Amino acid sequence: MPNRRSGDPRLQHGRDARRRPHGSADRNQPVLGKLLSILRLVYAPVMLWAVMIAEDDTIALSAFGLAIITDLLDSWLNRKQLGRRRSGELLDVVANTVFVLAAILALWQIDVIPWPIALLVPLRFVGLLAMIPALRSRGVRTLPVHLLGKVAAFCLLASFPLLYLSHDIPETLDLGLEPSLPIQVAQAFGWAFALWGILLLWWSLVLYAQEARRLMATTPPREKGGASRA
C-alpha cells in the first residue's frame, strides 16, 4: 500500500524545509542591503563638507559615485529577493532622501541649481510627510515603497555628479575658447536626469496620495485602544 503521507507534496516540502540548513549567506543578505543604505547616510555629510567647505572635487565626486553604486547594488539585491524586508526598504528610502536633500542643498549653495528648482524636491517630501497623520488614523504606519519613487531617486543621484562637473565653469576659457564639449554634454545629461527625477518624484507623490485616499475610504478609523472600528 503506498504511503500517502510521503506522496503529499506539502508534507514533503515541509520536511525538506526542515532539513535545509540556513547558510550564512542567507542570513547576511538583508544585512548587506542595510549596510549599503548606511553608507549613503554616512557619505551625505562627507559630501556636504567636500562641496561647501573643503571644495574638494575628488571627495565630492567620490561621494556622488558611491551613492549611485550603493543604490544600484541595493536595487539589484531587491530584484534578486535577497533582502526584501520592510525595515531594509524603509532604511533605503531614508538614505536616498537624506542624500538627495543634502546634495540639493550643496549644489544650490554653489549656484549650480537655482532655488525654484531646488525647492521642488523638499516640497515633495513635505507633501509625503503630510499624509502620515491620515495614515496613522487608520492604523497604517507607512505606504508600500513605490518603484516610481526609486527610479526618481536614482535619476537625481545620477544627475548630481554630472551637474557638479559643470560647476564654476566660466563662459569662456583661456584664449577665448568655449568650455569643452564633454563638459557641455555632462551638463545637458545632468539636467535631463535632474528634471526627470523631479518629475517622477511628484508623479509618485500623486500615486501615494491616491493610495492614501483609497485607504481612507476602505479602512475604518482606529479606536483609541489601537483596533479599527468594524
Q: How high is the pLDDT of residue 15?
A: 46
Contact 74, 153 (CB under 8 A): no
CB under 8 Å to 11, separation ≥6 — which residues? 5
d(CA 89, CA 147): 11
C-alpha cell at 183: 563638459
Instruction: Give the N- to C-terminal CA distance of the chain in Å, as an integer.
Output: 51
DSSP state of 5: H
Burial of 198 (0-12, 13-18, 19+ CB in 10 A): buried
Q: How far is CA 137 from CA 37, 87, 143, 144, 209, in A?
A: 29, 21, 13, 17, 15
Q: Which residues of the chain have pLDDT under 50?
A: 1-26, 28, 82-83, 170-177, 227-230
Contact 228, 219 (CB under 8 A): yes
Burial of 151 (0-12, 13-18, 19+ CB in 10 A): middle
pTM of the entire predicted model: 0.74
Q: How high is the pLDDT of residue 122?
A: 92
Q: How high is the pLDDT of residue 79?
A: 66
Question: What stretches of 20-165 show up as alpha helix (H) in DSSP?
Answer: 24-48, 57-79, 86-109, 115-129, 132-137, 147-165
**Length of the chain measured in residues:** 230
